[in-house]
Structure 1
Amino acid sequence: MAMACRALLILAAVLLLCAAECHLVHAWKRSYVVYLGAHPYGREATAEDHARATESHHELLASVVGSKQAAKDAIFYSYNKNINGFAAYLEEEVATQMAKHPDVLTVMPSKMMKLHTTRSWGFMDMERDGQVLPDSIWNHGKFGQNVIIANLDSGIWPESNSFSDEGMAPVPKRWKGGCTDTAKYGVPCNKKLIGAKYFNKDMLLSHPAAVEHNWTRDTEGHGTHTLSTAAGRFVPRANLFGYANGTAKGGAPRARVAVYKVCWNGECATADVIAGFEAAVHDGADVISVSFGVDAPLADASSFFHEAVTLGSLHATIHGVAVVCSGGNSGPFEDTVVNSAPWVTTVAASTVDRDFPDQVTLGNNAKMRGISLEASDLHSNKLFPVINASSAALPNCTVHHATNCATGCLDPAKVKGKIVVCVRGGDIPRVMKGMTVLNAGGVGMILANGEMDGNDIEADPHVLPATMITYDEAVSLYNYMSSTSEPAANISPSKTELGVKNSPSIAAFSARGPSGTLPYVLKPDVAAPGVDILAAFTEYVSPTEVAADKRRSEYAIMSGTSMACPHVSGVTALLKAARPDWSPAMMRSAIMTTARTQDNTGKPMREMDGKEATPFAYGSGNVHPNRAVDPGLVYDITPNGYFTFLCSLGFSTKDLSRLSSGKFTCPAKPPPMEDLNYPSIVVPALRRRMTIRRRLKNVGRPGTYRASWRAPFGVNMTVDPTVLIFEKAGEEKEFKVKVASEKEKLGRGYVFGKIVWSDGTHYVRSPVVVNALD
């Protein structure tokens, strides 16, 4: 009996060891994208072509894993339309072997990307007092009629009035997409919303809990907000709890929209994103809007083919599809901008001339300005006791969690009847901090910026009287609280203020250049409204939300470069409708060279802290849509131009041949990277002197353009020739920019100048950025 028990114990131990080993082997696997380049066929490929491509992927992986069945089991996406490659769940050793295969361009492990989370169109002079202006790009661009905008994001709330198809014509016959949801509460297509697909296979492998349902419906609100900003219909009387009341509309309200849900619970997985890009291009999108990206810039340009947005957008551009991306929310620090490839339009976030101020009155009669979307009256003739959240921590919570007003961390006995000072930041959403205070019996909340947040404040629809204050104001508040044994305060209701001066300014959160990944290209390209933007939102209710905040609104106010990106996506769609023969590069050039660098007082645009902003914050300036439809001249770049640029970066003819289906060969001596025909000029390492070349294409009437310029400080700059004569539309002319450093003025880092070509009517402006080393 003892022997039998011992045998059973040994068998159990063996089984446990086996189970543990099997788990470890499984844990070694992860998602990889095996990238092979481009397919030789175009959008007109047949189903047989796609099937052959998929079969070739099975055979390629089988050559390493040993059997075709094992390859089929491992592959969960076969990119068989315009991108050539596949996504598979592999062991690291297999991925390493695949990377060495002569047919493979690169193998990238899957990474997670983060979402970059009405009045704006009027502020950009497209309308005034609700009326469309005669020279508005809306008139030239037919409100984006029949242009197709694809949104890669968190899905859509299709019931929103912003996506009504009332009065719209039938769907364009060139469209190949559709709505694929089979769930009971999936997303139906109409003549406005003509496509809805979801991609979550990579997310299911890496973060299965993030996938709530297999559908395209938006449970977060981000995708609905961004897409309605780009192309929402005119919806009168839109507001958030009475704030920002007016007619909501997108940039291209008559454009068709297609949704590709690739983001789940705030994150977007590599293989899903690439699948979304491929589907959008194949289905027939004209513009792709992307409001997410990696957390930090890529290590260097050699990593280009290891990043999903960079790779997917390159294939889109090759097929003539314009891609617009958010620049990221890691500002105000330099070298934080993401999505910096030269074939995408990268957007920074700026303010509009609307604010939602309130006022905090302290017991010593000092007053400080805050911002909020909460209008409850906190008995304006009475002061309430003020307590710092860190002083009200429950025993089961750390002081850190209490300071951040984490759920369930405040002691009701200490908080009841008081205004609580919570610190902004941490993992707790700002509105949830207010819920914590309310649930503990607090009567109000002051959300105080930390030093890293500076003076960047955002309005939120709080559940109790509350406000956010700047870091400077927070320091004053803390000083007051420490000066008295009975600190007291009151918070006034907030109000909507229009015509705010020194607008636009650049949001502190908006990521800045220079791009460490690609310092030869100025990023971001342009700035657009991205602070306190009203747009459509989800009405989905999750169990956790029901417990936290039961209020619902069809529209929400949000901030982020996520909100700035679709403004430019909408403008790009208007340009596509007005100028259908323009390439993506020409549309980007028109937007960049007509942008403004002054605010509504006629002074240079500034940071939110009042300092003068630079092109590393706003690129070429704040977008001015009406000018973009008639820029006079543009800087064009063909796919071969991008391929040549990649050759200059060090990619080989073999690499580029795969991208171009064998139609491109690197030049024997690639030109300097600074010579990419971009609408801005950057010399990241000037050593004594350099000559940069550019070409301008006439897209207007015949005319004579003359150059004027302002050299960056400490740099001698000349333009040759100074006069360009264009005799017909489509004609191209080359010019040179010569820069030389002044030795006695070295050591200042990056300095900024500009070049303007004008025929007296058009002003084609390009920023010039130089870092003189010796």
Structure 2
Amino acid sequence: MRGVFAYLLCLLPLLVLSADQKQVYIVRIREQKSLHEIEDTHHSYLLSVKNDEGEAKASRLYSYKYSFNGFAAELTPDEASKLSEIEGVASVYKSDPQKYKLLTTRSWEFVGLPDDGDDPIPNRKNILNKTDYGQDIIVGFSRKLDNVDFLLGIWPESKSFSDQDMKPASPSWGGVCQAGIYYDRFHCSNKIVGARYYLKGYEKHYGRLNETLESRSPRDMIGHGTHTASTVAGRQVVNASLMGLAGGAATGGASLARLAIYKVCWLVPNRENSEENACFEEDILAAIDDAIGDKVDVLSISLGLGSSQPLPIEKDPIAIGALMAVKNNIVVACAAGNAGPAWETVSNYHPWVITVAASSIDRDFLRSVILANGVAVIGRTATPNYELDDQNRTLVYAADVVVPGVDKNLAANCLPGSLAPEKVKGNIVVCMVGTMESRIAQGMEVKRAGGVGLILGNLPVMGDRAVYDTHVLPATEVSSSDVLKIIQYIKSTKNPQAVLFNKTRTVLYGVAPNVTSFSSRGPNPFDPNILKPDITAPGLNILAAWSEGTSVSGDVFDNRNVTYNLQSGTSMAAPHIAASATLIKALHPDWSSAAIRSAIMTTASTINNQGSSITDEHGNLANPFMMGCGQFRPVEAADPGLIYDASYDDYLHYICNLGGSTEAIDPSYKCPQEPLFNLNYPSLAIRGLTGTAVVNRRVTHVGSVANTVYNFIAKPPKGITVDATPNVLQFQQVGQILSFTLTIRAVAGSEYLKSYYGFGSYSWTSGNLSVVSPMAISLK
């Protein structure tokens, strides 16, 4: 068995070209051909609109063979128009570089999967032993787009990717190793069994790769791909830490799984002479196509659309690629995005992928501040223990110590060059948080101006437990309410002072998990009748391996290098689910991708480690639009009792019900008619319920006891009734499939659902086992 993991990064400028200039187009062909005929067929199509053989051959960037029959080519708008009119061509559309943007020592133990042989569930053998730690499954990686990734590559020298005592991969593995050609030549191993990189689309849009920034190889130069890959399948490394913080044994969830790398995103300088990432859909599609051809088992994509407007499925390369992967029984786990806490921001919302939100774990990093008036403020940071005596220092507010001419609206943000050294030197500076990308730069500005410490005040939207940074000087980050207290103190006295304690303490605190503020929320912007996200997993301050090709912060002016780093985002959450899927795939090799998704979803928990309901970072009750089914539980997911299965044809049927066409996806499929919420999905969402809705579902018995009875329990939203027919499922054999119908009615007390959703759940129970499905229902 094999598996693949993937990431994407970048929000790219729209390229505007004249009508006679060549652009990259994606072309889909209706007819199916054998693999050895496909490239010749694509060449013949291009030859029909080009002047000669040479021009036709040079124009083609990629032929897509395994995901769908199609190709990417440079065409003028006129050539694209002519090609679209040829019989046999299903669709022709321009590659749009603006659509995509870039989205451990404790987390696995926290979710009940320790790597020390202890069984977290009494009388149940550890899933790691059952699955041999994912041995011989291949996991592939990609890179992120604002909270989206499709291969940043990997740092193969990391101890997390050691192949010690690992046998060679199966001879049936189809991957290749593109090593690169320079000093940083990439090498594969019995752990990293495949590595490819994709530059054709990038270089058509941007020109030749800037090799002072990037490596023309699958090597990771920003850290993200290395971090996520080790979260899924890193070998156990003892005494791992970030500059002494979060120390312990770092390990991936499936530590003996093998890795395949598909790098499609590349560092480029932007207009501000800093760095961003660029990735293009023709390269993305080529990577997914190769992953399918290589026969991977799990594909993890922390990537999403940069646009707030959903694309048609046939023009969304992640949607199409994932659907074709699922057709080939590859599990696809995707990051939900980092656009929270705003509603209707979730990415990767199609029902054939597992959409993963981010939550916290029960570990924190504290550095306290004591004001001279005796008020103590507990801050949080990932900054190591720089030398600073625990003595009172003058405390200044950034807005009061800026150079003349700085915009007053930005004065408190400690922007580069904004602070006056004569007012800052030797003092502790209070700054207000900027963007996630600028926080390290804020500390650098304080240090440049001669400050000895930084107190960074978070925004109200972030809650009390935000993303922590590894600053270049003693620093701590405080909540929005606490920073207001500090600023009020500064303004209340002529000589404000404070102690910023030297040490950062690693502690295990009480309540976890909480859904993070940055994690994108539902409802589903593409189809509100599919509940997204599906699940939540640890994504806040996760320690994992890091690339030595970049600094600890990723900032070009930061010269600190580390081998392990703390990172936050739904891109950190998705690999946890990919690892869980890898283990389930090893345990149940005959299960479909939908069955594995169902097992992960219906066994999740909505209860935190204190026995209360999971909340967000502000203490508000978390609902399914924040966390899907809840926090994943990998041990329970290995034995779910029942599964909600679905096939490739079911997904095509679903697309038909949306009013879409399957012509460009699968020309041989003919659309039937049926209500769209009848897709056999493990959760339930209905927008615009009027009167009564009837929903059909089917479940497969996958337990170990043949004769098993399940009883129906409903906990619907206020003003809604949910009845099941039948309300008892009696299974006579393992593998048996039984259907049931849910009748959902709006009754007295449901009027509030005209303005928003109500949340609840239904479940099938047998003894101590509950197969739980969340629901979200509105009347409008």
List aligned pairs for 1:492-503, cutoff 5 A: 492-503=501-512
1:677 corresponds to which of 655, 677, 680: 680
Maintained 8 Å contact 1:290/1:565: yes
* SS of 1:105 mapped into structure 2: strand
8 Å Cα contact 1:163/1:233 also seen in 2: yes
Q: 1:174 aligns with which of 139, 157, 172?
A: 172
Q: Which residue of 2 aligns with 1:432?
A: 441
Tell me whether 1:708 sits opposite 2:708 in the alignment. Answer: no
Query: Is the 2:47–2:53 Cα contact (8 Å) retained in structure 1?
Result: yes
Map of 1:724 onto structure 2 = 729
Unaligned runs of 5+ in 2: 1-15, 143-150, 268-276
Q: Which residue of 2 aligns with 1:234?
A: 236
Q: Which residue of 2 aligns with 1:334?
A: 343
Using the TM superposition, give the Cα deviation of residue 399 of structure 1 relative to its aligned residue in structure 2, in angstroms. Answer: 4.9
The one of 687, 698, 701 equivalent to 2:690 is 687
CA-CA distance at 1:763 after TM superposition: 1.2
The structure-2 alpha-carbon separation of the partners of 1:132 and 1:98, relative to structure 1 and needing over 3 Å to count, comes to farther
8 Å contact 1:178–1:189 — kept in the other structure? no
User: Equivalents in 1 of 2:490, 2:302: separation in Å?
Assistant: 41
Q: Report the alpha carbon displacement of residue 714 of structure 1 after superposing the two structures with TM.
A: 1.1
Look up the match of 1:224. Answer: 226
SS in 2 for 1:582: coil
Q: Which amino acid aligns with 1:140?
A: K
Which amino acid is 1:434 matched to? G
Match of 1:33 among 20, 26, 39: 26
Amino acid corresponding to residue 36 of structure 1 in structure 2: I
Of 345, 354, 357, the residue aligned with 1:348 is 357
- Match status 1:561 vs 2:570: yes
Distance 1:590 1:547 in 2: 43
CA shift digits 1:658-677 (9 cap, x unpaired): 3xxx3x3222xx21110000
Report deviation, 1:610: 0.5
Q: Of residues 522, 525, 543 in structure 1, which corresponds to 2:534?
A: 525
Equivalent position amino acid for 1:158 in 2? P
**Pairing 1:562-711 to 2, within 5 Å after superposition:** 562-652=571-661, 654-655=663-664, 657-658=666-667, 662=668, 664-667=669-672, 670-700=673-703, 701-702=705-706, 703-711=708-716
Deviates more, 1:268-277 or 1:534-543: 534-543
> What is the CA–CA distance in structure 1 between the aligned matches of 2:532 and 2:343, rounded to whole Å?
11
Equivalences, count: 734
Show CA shifts across 1:368-397 (max 9, x none).
221112243675652212222233334586
* Cα distance in 2 for residues equivalent to 1:452 and 1:577: 41
Query: For residues 485 and 545 of structure 1, what CA distance do their matches in structure 2 show?
Result: 39
Deviation at residue 751 of structure 1 after TM alignment: 0.6
- Equivalent in 748, 764, 767 of residue 771 of structure 2: 764
Q: Aligned runs of 1:54-73 on 2, under 5 Å? A: 54-73=39-58
Deviation string, structure 1 residues 63-92 (Cα, Å, up to 9, x no partner): 345545433333222213332222223344
Q: Is residue 95 of structure 2 the alignment partner of residue 121 of structure 1? A: no
TM-score by length of 1: 0.90
Structure with larger Rg: 1
Partner of residue 3, structure 2: none
Q: What aligned pairs does 1:280-429 form with structure 2 within 5 A after superposition?
A: 280-299=291-310, 303-376=312-385, 381-394=390-403, 398-399=407-408, 403-426=412-435, 428-429=437-438
Which has the larger displacement, 330-339 or 485-494? 485-494
Cα pair distance change 1:24/1:319, threshold 3 Å: closer
Q: Is 1:256 matched up with 2:265? A: no
Q: Please tell me the residue identity of whatever aligns with 1:587.
A: I
Residues 75-117 of structure 1: CA deviation (Å, up to 9, x unaligned): 222213332222223344444554555522352432342222x
| Aligned-pair CA distance for 1:328 | 0.1
**Taking structure 1 as reference, are residues 434 and 602 closer, same or farther at Cα in structure 2, changes over 3 Å only?**
same
2: distance between equivalents of 1:131 and 1:518? 43
Using a 3 Å threshold, how does the CA distance of structure 1 residues 492 and 750 change in structure 2: closer, same or farther? Answer: same
Which structure dedicates a bigger proportion of its chain to helix? 1
- Contact 1:719/1:737 (8 A) holds in 2: yes
Determine if contact 1:297/1:337 at 8 Å carries over to the other structure: no
Equivalence for 1:13? none
Counterpart-to-counterpart distance in 2, 1:98 and 1:542? 47
Q: In the aligned structure 1, how far is the partner of 2:480 from the partner of 2:382?
A: 19
1:111-161 CA-to-partner distances (Å, cap 9, x unmatched) read 342222x20110011128784646332122221111111112200000001
**Residues 23, 94 of structure 2: 8 Å contact kept:** no
Q: Matched residues in 2 for 1:469 and 1:207: separation?
A: 41
User: What is the identity, as a one-letter code, of the residue corresponding to 2:38?
Assistant: A
* Other-structure match for 1:16: none
Residue in 2 that maps onto 1:76: 61
Question: How many angstroms apart in 1 are the aligned matches of 2:554 and 2:355?
Answer: 33
SS of the residue aligned with 1:694? strand
Q: What is the match of residue 157 of structure 1?
A: 155
2:95 to 101, 109, 112: 109
Residues 407-463 of structure 1, C-alpha deviations (whole Å, 9 max, x = no match): 333222221111122222248532232122112211001111234444442222222
Equivalent residue letter for 1:677: N
Work out the CA distance in 2 between the residues paired with 1:484 and 1:38.
Answer: 78
> Would the aligned equivalents of 2:96 and 2:281 in 1 still touch at CA under 8 Å?
yes
1:119 counterpart letter in structure 2: R
Q: Find the counterpart in structure 2 of residue 147 from structure 1.
A: 137
**1:238 touches 1:245 (CA, 8 Å); kept in 2?**
yes
Is the partner of 1:56 in helix, strand or coil?
Answer: helix
Distance 1:318 1:553 in 2: 40
User: 1:110, 1:271 within 8 Å by CA — same for their partners in 2?
Assistant: no
1:89 corresponding residue in structure 2 = 74
Q: Is structure 2 residue 280 aligned with structure 1 residue 269?
A: yes
Quote the Cα distance in structure 1 between the aligned partners of 2:659 and 2:555: 54
Report SS of the residue matched to 1:548: coil
Quote how far apart the aligned CAs of 1:214 are.
1.3
1:752 aligned residue (745, 756, 759): 759
The 1:710–1:204 alpha-carbon spacing in structure 2 relative to 1, beyond 3 Å, is same
CA distance in 2, matches of 1:614, 1:719: 23
Give per-residue Cα distances to partners, 1:531-581, cap 9 Å, x unaligned: 010000000158997973322211000000000000000010000100000
5+ long unaligned stretches in structure 1: 1-22
User: Does the 8 Å contact 1:530/1:563 carry over to 2?
Assistant: yes
**Is 1:213 the counterpart of 2:215 in the alignment?**
yes
Q: Is this contact kept in 2: 1:82–1:278, CA < 8 A?
A: yes
**Which residue matches 2:13?**
none
Q: Distance in 1 between matches of 2:94 and 2:527?
A: 20
Q: Alpha-carbon deviation of 1:292?
A: 1.9
Residue 204 of structure 1 deviates from its aligned partner by 2.0
**8 A Cα contact 1:506 1:618, kept in partner:** yes
Distance in 2 (alpha carbons) for counterparts of 1:546 and 1:630: 44
- Aligned partner of residue 420 in structure 1, secondary structure: strand
1:597 shift after superposition: 0.4
Corresponding residue of 1:733: 738
Opposite residue 177 of structure 1, the aligned amino acid is G
Q: CA RMSD in A?
A: 2.5
Alignment of 1:471-486 (within 5 A): 471-486=480-495
Q: 1:492 to 1:565 in 2, by over 3 A?
A: same
Contact 1:140/1:629 (CA < 8 Å) preserved in 2? no
For 2:545 and 2:115, the matched residues in 1 are separated by 22
Question: d(CA) in 1 for partners of 2:557 and 2:247?
Answer: 25
Contact 1:648 1:672 in 2 (8 A): yes
Q: Secondary structure at the match of 1:592?
A: helix
Which one-letter code corresponds to 1:726 in the other structure? F
Residue identity opposite 1:54 in structure 2 = E
